[in-house]
Structure 1
């Protein structure tokens, strides 16, 4: 039977996050995550031209409970809809490519916030652990 829960866990990135929850040193899981595509929410107020420009990606920034800024990305549409049901547009971006261009300021990356096994990395962690492709 096809259910949204099955879709939620179906992506290689989601399976990698689940593996990393059990073993943070799992190199195969980190490599799989780095080579996966993620969904980056596009705010509804963003201009269509900006949302479709392949040369740039606007990073949505949210404040974490401690006040630290983080960029939320997601492994699937169901994962994104669970936390941000109001987002109607997104960009599909290779996580490794995003990480290799990560800003130098102190900006964290959270993958699948609100899921059973989210992953939050510091800006240094993003560049060193995920910029593999």
Structure 2
């Protein structure tokens, strides 16, 4: 039986993030990250159609101190629950596919915010590093 304590947290995306702590230019880790799936929380105000449509993903946009907009994604359910314990729905999305359609505005992406090794990328960084 799967419980919160035994859910897998050492995912390929998490392994890539840990490798990037030691070497920010690790091409193998960036490729692994771009090819990994992440959990994208479904915003509370998203309709059921938006939450399940395979052609679109409703992005949860959080405003950071200073007014900057950021989209949080996570490498595992425990990582998501640690920061956003009340999220009831999420989508599993290939990070590279998400990055390939990333908006052109100043929207940043944070992977595993609140973890020991989060990664935050600017809008340009998302498109250039992860859209492979």
What is the distance in 2 between the residues matched to 1:50 and 1:12?
Answer: 27
Q: Deviations over 1:100-121 (max 9, x none)?
A: 1000001100000000000000
Normalised to the residue count of structure 1, the TM-score between the two structures is 0.92
SS at match of 2:8: helix
Deviation at 1:6, TM superposition (A): 7.3
What is the distance in 1 between the residues matched to 2:47 and 2:26?
Answer: 40
Q: How do 1:31-110 residues align onto structure 2 when only pairs under 5 Å count? A: 31-110=31-110
Name the counterpart of 2:131.
131
In structure 2, relative to structure 1, the CA distance for the partners of 1:54 and 1:118 (3 Å cut) is same
Name the counterpart of 2:23.
23
What is the distance in 2 between the residues matched to 1:47 and 1:117?
Answer: 32
Gaps of 5+ in 1: none
Normalised to the residue count of structure 2, the TM-score between the two structures is 0.92
Moved over 2 A (4+): 2-8, 43-46
In structure 2, relative to structure 1, the CA distance for the partners of 1:114 and 1:66 (3 Å cut) is same
Deviation at 1:44, TM superposition (A): 3.0
Q: CA RMSD in A?
A: 1.6
What is the distance in 2 between the residues matched to 1:115 and 1:97?
Answer: 23
Name the counterpart of 1:7.
8
Number of residue pairs aligned between Structure 1 and Structure 2: 130
